[in-house]
Amino acid sequence: MKELTLLFIVGLTMVSAASLKSLDTEPGMQAEDKKAVLKMMLKSLIQNALEDDAKDREVEMQAEEKEMQANDDTEMEREMEAEREEKEMDEMQAQEIAARDMELENAVDPCPTYWVHFQGSCYRYFGDRVTWEVARESCKDHYSISGQAELASIHSQQENSFAYDLFLSAAGGSSLAGHTYYGAWIGFFQPTASSTGPFQWSDGTSASDFDSWLPRQPDNAGNNEGCTHFWRRNAGDDTLQSWNDAPCTLDFPYICKVAPNN
């Protein structure tokens, strides 16, 4: 408004001087007429100045508005970016937690409930006394995520000791009373009805890498022994941890084996 006032004064001076001078040169113009013309010119000058000022203000406001808009946009972008980052972080954390849970679960228990982990396999002793065939079918009723269980196959001295200890601890120490040929079925068998021919593991694993026969076994006594069990007729046999072939129709507890969950 100050500028406008200044403009007005300067304009007034200039217009007065110039116009009066030019008006002076107009022949026959009366003083009243000159005044009226001067008034009109001044009015027009003020009008123009006011319009210019309004225009300037408008431009200024538009610029301000634009700047505010730009600031808003930047702020919004920042917020969106922050939200995106937070979401990504949450997803990463969720994935990490899931991976850790899985790792923990596998580390703690790779086997189904009640099954015992040993060197990459899961084992379970079952105390009911049944024939070899029934024992095998009973194993097959059990699963891990990796597949169906079978009667245990044994491929090393360590695995043999582990399986024997599993049976021994579950069977109850040195109590042998009333348990002739006390022991537990494992998966070694002769598939032919006459109980001849090579033994094989019911789970299809190699039959040639390990065995733990008692001395003079397998003897196929009575030409009728096609299935294998841990031999335990007296406490001394616990140190041997050895096998005997026996009629498949005898009733023994049994040991099943299944691949772990992972």
* Footprint of Ca ion (CB under 5 A): 217, 219, 225, 244-245
Cβ-based nearer residue to Ca ion, 153 or 217: 217
Concatenate the DSSP letters of all residues of 44-82 into one string: HHHHHHHHHHHHHHHHHHHHHHHHHHHHHHHHHHHHHHH
Name the minimum Å distance from CB 196 to Ca ion. Answer: 13
CB 136 within 8 A of CB 202: yes
Residue type, 82: A
Measured from the CB of residue 172, what is the shortest distance to Ca ion in angstroms?
A: 24
Q: How many residues does the chain have?
A: 262
Using the minimum distance from each CB to Ca ion, give the nearer residue, 202 or 244: 244
Q: Shortest Cβ distance from residue 183 to Ca ion (Å)?
A: 11
* 92, 94, 97, 101: CA torsion to nearest 10: -130
Toward Ca ion, which CB reaches closer, 150 or 245?
245
Residue 192 beta carbon to Ca ion: minimum distance, rounded to whole angstroms: 16
Q: In this complex, which beta carbon is closest to Ca ion, that of residue 35 or of residue 233? A: 233
Residue 159 or 225: which CB sits closer to Ca ion? 225
In whole angstroms, the minimum distance from the beta carbon of 222 to Ca ion comes to 9
Closest distance to Ca ion from the beta carbon of 165 (Å): 23
Comparing CB distances to Ca ion, the nearer of 212 and 244 is 244
CA 87 to centroid of chain Cα atoms:
16
Q: Work out how close the CB of 151 gets to Ca ion at its nearest, in angstroms, rounded to a whole number.
A: 18
Cα–Cα distance list, 169 to 161, 178, 252, 257 (Å): 12, 18, 16, 17
CA distances from 15 to 4, 28, 68, 214 (A): 16, 21, 42, 134
Residue with the CB atom nearest Ca ion in the bound state: 245
Cα separation, 53 vs 180, whole angstroms: 118
Closer to Ca ion by Cβ: residue 225 or 237: 225
For 74-138, give the DSSP string. HHHHHHHHHHHHHHHHHHHHHHHHHHHHHHHHHHH--S-TT-EEETTEEEEEEEEEE-HHHHHHH
